[in-house]
């Protein structure tokens, strides 16, 4: 399993004129093929788009570690499905201290607790993304390792743009000779096929099919002001063109105006078309969230009651409240405790029996994960965070990028947290965080990064984060999954000096792998 290939110096030399030509080809390809974002402050309707952030060359990635990441995805899916079904576990891990110190997670958990005894739809759908960085051990001569950053269970984005990035890089290879100086870049066999758009859309279609009503639709719950709309539209078009399924888009604030639950005990989710109010309502088979993962999506009680209404409906939720809770960083940390992986993975997924070997493969992708509580391990973590902060990142229970505390920012941040008053009997605020060892990606890789259609001045080293998508359709009432599979990959690349990694938040570009 270990990798012995070292990564080449990167990228191959390109003259300024060649770079300019590739940029022109990439930009026109991006704009015409929908590898795009809305510009800052878009109009409604939009009158322009910009190329999504991209790299001009794909980035080398060790073939064996890529294959490993793809191969273990069904086991990771099964792990998170089994956690989602374990009410007692989620109550202990998320309903305990975390729900008391983290208002957002607390609200998610209370919302779930309020409705979970009275749900009509046993099926749930997960469109996941497990994110990894390559890790190079300090000691010389050690093989590169694959280390998990996090496992996303809600709003895993960039599936469409990622498939397009792979096509764009293949097009650049095929349409010029500029990649010919690199045997790695010039060989099409090094560009793995990636069908993340088609595979994620198929996942939504599988949920829709399981619902079993031919004229039912899929509801996309979106954020107001979203600039990454094309990534979402591609899924809509794929659902319509390949599967004949209609999508309705709404943000949280619109839903109460147009949606209601049916009168029967089935509680169908019914949506009126505001432009055709007298037409029959549409029944919703699947609710797909590209919103709802961050506190700003719930500015008032209104959005929480909308979430609760959707959860109580007969539509299949992608994800359910329980599945969203299972994706919390606190759960990731608890999974690193002895015996936890065995406990959840060995329950299987209804199709595969997972073995001790699978447990070991997943465990090897873990890096140091610590609680910030008063357990023995928590106390040790606190000491490490204060004395050797440059080795760690401190994470709150948040999604969407830009929330973590890095390195030497950790000690003053922890001191400030501790100085904040807590109500008598309330746990300390720091228990809403986890501490994680920093993964150290290999040195020496550069790339040509394009943002807003222009080459960035960044000539420094880059770091790439591999995401592996997964799809699981499963029932609360039955063991295992109806569907459990991998669903393609994403590579995001950022300047080494930036700690954070989101494309939407402006740190990274969408890239693709060239396998070494």
Active site residues: 129, 150, 152, 157, 329, 395, 399-400, 492
Q: Which does 209 bind (CB under 5 to 8 A by kind): ligand ADP, Mg ion, none?
A: none
Pairing of strands 217-222, 282-289: parallel
Enter the tokens of residue 155.
């709003």
Rank residues 274 and 402 by Cβ distance to Mg ion and give the closer one. 402
The DSSP code sequence of 293-311 is SSGGG-SSHHHHHHHHHHH
Kindly state whether residue 320 participates in binding ligand ADP, applying the rule CB under 6 A: no
Interacting residue with ligand ADP among 401, 427, 453, 506 (CB under 6 A)? 401
Is 438 a binding residue for ligand ADP by CB under 6 A? The answer is: yes
Q: Distance between CA 363 and CA 377 in Å, rounded?
A: 18
The least distance separating Mg ion from the CB of residue 382, rounded to whole angstroms, comes to 24
Size of the site for Mg ion (CB under 5 A): 3
Is residue 64 at the binding interface for Mg ion, with CB under 5 A as the rule? no
Interface segment toward ligand ADP; rule CB under 6 A; list 37-45, 116-124, 467-475, 499-507:
499-507
Q: Is 437 exposed, middle or buried (0-12, 13-18, 19+ CB in 10 A)?
A: middle
146-185 residues in contact with Mg ion (CB under 5 A) are 150, 152
394-453 residues in contact with Mg ion (CB under 5 A) are 399
Comparing CB distances to ligand ADP, the nearer of 341 and 434 is: 434
Reduced DSSP (H G I as helix, E B as strand, rest coil) percent helix, strand, coil of the chain, to 5: 40, 20, 40
Q: By CB under 5 A, tell whether 493 contacts Mg ion.
A: no
How many residues in total does the chain contain?
516
Looking only at the bridges linking them, the beta strands covering 282-289 and 316-318 are parallel
Q: Using the minimum distance from each CB to ligand ADP, give the nearer residue, 306 or 489.
A: 489
Which option in ligand ADP, Mg ion, none does residue 403 bind, with CB closer than 5 to 8 A by kind? ligand ADP
Rounded to whole angstroms, the Cα distance separating 429 from 327 reads 20
| Spatial CB neighbours of 231, under 8 Å, sequence gap ≥ 6 | 157, 158, 159, 160, 161
Residue of 196, 465, 487, 495 that binds ligand ADP (CB under 6 A): 465
b/e per residue 380-397 (b: at least 16 CB within 10 A): ebbebbeeebebbbbbbb
Can residue 294 be called a binding residue for ligand ADP (CB under 6 A)?
no
Give the residue ranges of DSSP H helices in 34-98. 63-71, 73-84, 87-93
Cβ partners under 8 Å of residue 148, min gap 6: 130, 131, 132, 332, 365, 366, 367
Q: Which is nearer to Mg ion, 152 or 313 (CB)?
A: 152
The stretch near ligand ADP (CB under 6 A) out of 116-124, 239-247, 416-424, 435-443 is 435-443
Q: Does 465 bind Mg ion (CB under 5 A)?
A: no
Q: Please report where in the chains the tokens 């793995």 appear, as a residue.
A: 192
Choice between 135 and 312, CB closer to Mg ion: 135
Query: Closest CB to Mg ion among 182 and 228?
Result: 228
Dig out the tokens for 417 from the structure.
């947290």
Compare residues 475 and 498 and give the one whose CB is closer to ligand ADP.
498
Stretch near ligand ADP under the rule CB under 6 A, chosen from 63-71, 214-222, 477-485, 495-503? 495-503
Question: Of 139-198, which residues contact ligand ADP (CB under 6 A)?
Answer: 149-150
Least gap, CB of 207 to ligand ADP (angstroms): 23
Q: Which stretch binds ligand ADP (CB under 6 A): 92-100, 117-125, 301-309, 431-439?
A: 431-439
The only residue of 131, 145, 236, 268 in contact with ligand ADP, by rule CB under 6 A: 131
The dihedrals phi and psi of 41, each to the nearest 5 degrees, come to: 50, 60
CB-CB contact of 308 with 119 (8 Å) = no
Instruction: Pick between residue 232 and residue 282 the one whose CB is nearest to Mg ion.
Output: 232
CB count, 10 Å around CB of 136? 19
Residues 397, 509: Cα–Cα separation, whole Å: 24
Smallest gap from residue 436 Cβ to ligand ADP (A): 4
Q: Which residues bind Mg ion (CB under 5 A)?
A: 150, 152, 399
Q: Which residues bind ligand ADP (CB under 6 A)?
A: 131, 133, 149-150, 367, 393, 395, 398-401, 403-404, 436, 438-439, 465, 499-501
């Amino acid at each position: 399993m270990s990798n012995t290939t070292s990564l080449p110096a990167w990228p191959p030399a390109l003259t300024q004129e060649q770079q300019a030509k590739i940029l022109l080809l990439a930009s026109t390809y991006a704009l015409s093929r929908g590898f795009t974002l809305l510009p800052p402050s878009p109009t409604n309707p939009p009158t322009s788009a910009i190329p999504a952030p991209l790299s001009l060359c794909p980035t080398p990635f060790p073939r064996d570690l890529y294959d490993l990441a793809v191969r273990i995805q069904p086991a990771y899916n099964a792990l998170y499905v089994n956690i989602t079904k374990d009410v007692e576990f989620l109550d202990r891990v998320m309903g305990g201290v975390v729900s008391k110190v983290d208002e957002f997670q607390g609200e998610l958990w209370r919302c779930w607790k309020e409705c979970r005894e009275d749900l009509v739809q046993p099926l749930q759908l997960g469109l996941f993304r497990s994110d990894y960085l390559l890790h190079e051990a300090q000691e010389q001569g050690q093989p590169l390792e694959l280390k998990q950053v996090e496992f996303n269970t809600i709003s895993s984005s960039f599936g469409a743009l990622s498939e397009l990035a792979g096509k764009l890089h293949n097009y650049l290879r095929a349409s010029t000779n500029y990649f010919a100086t690199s045997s790695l870049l010039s060989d099409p066999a090094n560009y793995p096929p990636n069908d993340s758009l088609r595979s994620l859309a198929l996942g939504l279609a599988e949920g829709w099919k399981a619902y079993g009503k031919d004229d039912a639709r899929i509801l996309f719950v979106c954020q107001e002001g979203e600039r990454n709309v094309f990534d979402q539209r591609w899924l809509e078009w794929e659902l319509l063109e390949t599967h004949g399924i209609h999508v309705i888009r709404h943000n949280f604030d619109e839903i109460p105006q147009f949606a209601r639950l049916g009168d029967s005990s089935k509680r169908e989710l019914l949506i009126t078309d505001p432009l055709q109010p007298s037409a029959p309502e549409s029944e919703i088979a699947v609710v797909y969230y590209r919103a709802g993962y961050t506190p700003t999506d719930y500015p008032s009680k209104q959005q929480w009651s909308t979430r609760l209404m959707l959860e109580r409906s007969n539509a299949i939720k992608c994800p359910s409240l329980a599945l969203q809770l299972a994706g919390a960083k606190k759960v990731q940390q608890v999974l690193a405790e002895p015996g936890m992986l065995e406990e959840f993975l060995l329950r299987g997924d209804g199709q595969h029996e997972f073995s001790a070997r699978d447990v070991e493969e997943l465990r090897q992708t873990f890096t140091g994960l610590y609680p910030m509580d008063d357990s023995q391990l928590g106390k040790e973590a606190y000491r490490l965070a204060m004395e050797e902060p440059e080795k760690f990142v401190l994470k709150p229970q948040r999604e969407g990028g830009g929330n973590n505390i890095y390195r030497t920012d950790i000690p003053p941040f922890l001191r400030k947290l501790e100085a904040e008053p807590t109500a008598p009997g309330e746990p300390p605020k720091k228990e809403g965080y986890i501490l994680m060892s920093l993964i150290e990606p290999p040195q020496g890789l550069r790339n040509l990064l394009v943002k807003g259609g222009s080459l960035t001045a960044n000539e420094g080293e880059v770091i790439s984060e591999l995401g592996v998508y997964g799809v699981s359709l499963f029932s609360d009432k039955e063991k295992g999954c109806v569907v459990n599979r991998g669903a393609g990959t994403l590579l995001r690349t950022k300047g080494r000096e930036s700690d954070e990694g989101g494309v939407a938040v402006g740190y990274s570009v969408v890239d693709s792998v060239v396998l070494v």
